[in-house]
Amino acid sequence: MGAKHAGTPADAVKKLMKKGKVKKKCCRSKSACKKCPVLALKRVKAELRKAA
């Protein structure tokens, strides 16, 4: 696995939060922003599924 992937998708998102790439909480706006942790989790899960 690459450096940005941790053991679980949640761990990967936590790592992105520490780096400042993702917000700690979702702002729940209608058009979800790029720093949304919910979307980041979906993205990481999709990447892991694609890699497997």
Domain regions of the chain by residue span: 9-17+29-51
Cβ-proximal residues to 1 (8 Å cutoff; 6+ apart), any chain: 51
Q: How many CB atoms lie within 10 A of CB 9?
A: 19
What are 1-52's pLDDT values in tens digits? 455 556 899 999 999 999 999 999 888 887 878 889 999 999 999 998 888 7
User: For the whole prediction, is pTM greater than 0.75?
Assistant: no
The secondary structure of 1-52 as a DSSP string is: --TT--SSHHHHHHHHHHHTSS-SS----SS--TT-HHHHHHHHHHHHHHH-
